[in-house]
Amino acid sequence: MGKSLSVNLSRLKSTFEMSNKIGGTKNGGIHRLTFTEEDKQMRDIFVQWMKDSGLKVRVDDFGNIYGKREGKNKNADSVMIGSHLDSMPMAGRYDGILGVLASLEVVRTLNDHNIETERSIEIVNFTNEEGERFKPNMLGSGGITGKHDKEFIYNVKDYEGITFLEGLKEIDYLGSKNNRASHVAYFIELHIEQGPFLEANKKVIGVVDGVKGSSRFKLSIKGVSSHGAFPNDFRNDALIAASEIALVIDNQPDIFQDNLTTSIGVFEVYPSVQSQTSENVEMTFDVRHLNGNIKRKAINNIKQSIEEIANKKGVEVKLEQTWDANGQNFSKKVIEMVKDGAESYQYPYQYITSSPLHDASYIADIAETGMIFVPCEKGLSHREEEYVSFEDIEKGVNVLLYATQKLANL
């Protein structure tokens, strides 16, 4: 079993071709934000595809879409597979989308071979994973796992003041609370790596052992602007303090050498004019690690350095934490099945910890969860250039097929 079974790559390609047209950008990317016309179009087609494959489709009160393929054992909890169909602005064709379309292909392949499973298999498309239009991200999976109150989610507003609930109604995907995922034994999400390791190590399958926890901060630095001719040692230059802090933040992974990731996002300098030094810098940064203790240690290092640099440079700092998510270890059983899948097809694989967050990191609270990564070129994601070869996609979907089938019969 399993080993010989393989997905239909040409069918999967044509499924992708349709997806590429919905919100497709002229540079080969996808622009498909939550609850926009493009999101609705893609959802409608996805629902139709699921119905055509004999699945029982339902929508919950956060707009998450499920399609169920009944198993032989009506009392057994199901195996859920899927991801999200929404995208970042001017983003890539694969992030999220791969996991959903691959799940459909898994079901279609089982149908092709008239394979029944003990457990039911459910495909899922989570709402608003990217969180670009409605912040924060992962509101669909966050809603059903209790990470956020329903009231909070419904009242989240986009840039124009439109609420999540209004957006949901607008595209006609407000379903019932009764339809939320429940009685799920296992969840598997196939996703592009969004990092460089598989490519660098010439591996095709990433057996994901967990998702890093992520803490985000906003830092305001207030110094004193002066004439550019003012002697350097007498200045309280916000930019120079911020530059030192940036290097400290960037240096933490070298200190811990332990799969820690840090990044600086927003970095705004005022007044930013010639021959005038800086008064203010506003910046954001994040710190990611699977292990909460190591993450905390790195954050404390950074905080201490910020204080020291602020004192040395005579600038005022205000640090605010804007997000905190714990790291999540994945299910040993799911990890084992993914590894077995890679071995059974003789695909080169490696264990890997996800640095970005995924719906899987929330779903891990309600089901035994795992992920499968496939390599993406140069690790680039959330960009129109995002690229995954269909050779690798085929392998990733085969492993998903293998693990799903195994878990559905356990």
Nearer to its own copies, 69 or 295 (CB): 295
Q: Minimum Å distance from CB 143 to its own copies?
A: 21
Smallest gap from Cβ 156 to its own copies, in A, equals 16
Indicate the residue among 24 and 253 with the shorter CB distance to its own copies.
253
Residue placing its CB nearer to its own copies in the complex, 331 or 381: 381
148 annotated to bind ligand = no
Shortest gap between Cβ of 378 and its own copies (angstroms)? 8
Residue 262 pairs in a beta bridge with 287
244 annotated ligand-binding residue: no
Nearer to its own copies, 31 or 382 (CB): 382
> Shortest Cβ distance from residue 246 to its own copies (Å)?
4
Asked if residue 172 belongs to a known ligand binding site, the reply is no
Q: Closest distance between its own copies and the C-beta of residue 158, in Å?
A: 16
Task: Please list, residue by residue across 328-364, b when 16 or more beta carbons sit within 10 angstroms of its beta carbon and e when fewer do.
Answer: bebbebbbebbbbbbebbebebbebbbbbbbbbbbbb
C-beta closer to its own copies: residue 178 or 275? 275
State the minimum distance, in angstroms, from the CB of residue 268 to its own copies: 6
Residue 131 Cβ, how far from its own copies at the closest point, in Å?
10
Whichever of 179 and 253 has its CB closer to its own copies, that residue is 253
84 a known binding residue? yes
Residue 401 C-beta: closest distance to its own copies, Å: 27
Determine the Cα–Cα distance for residues 224 and 218; give it in Å rounded to an integer. Answer: 20
Angle between helices 97-112 and 37-52 (to 10 degrees): 10
Instruction: List residues binding its own copies (CB under 8 A).
Output: 194-197, 200, 212, 214, 216, 224-234, 237, 239-240, 242-244, 246-247, 250, 253-254, 261-269, 272-278, 284, 286, 288, 354-357, 378-383
382 is in an annotated binding site: yes
**Residue with smaller CB distance to its own copies, 115 or 380:** 380
Query: How many angstroms separate the Cα of 219 from the Cα of each of 88, 105, 264, 295?
Result: 25, 45, 10, 18
Contact 120, 68 (CB under 8 A): yes
The residues near 306 (Cβ < 8 Å, ≥ 6 apart) are 219, 245, 248, 317, 319
Q: Which is nearer to its own copies, 275 or 293 (CB)?
A: 275
User: Which residues participate in the annotated binding site?
Assistant: 84, 95, 130, 191, 382
Query: Which segments are annotated as binding site for Zn(2+)?
Result: 84, 95, 130, 191, 382
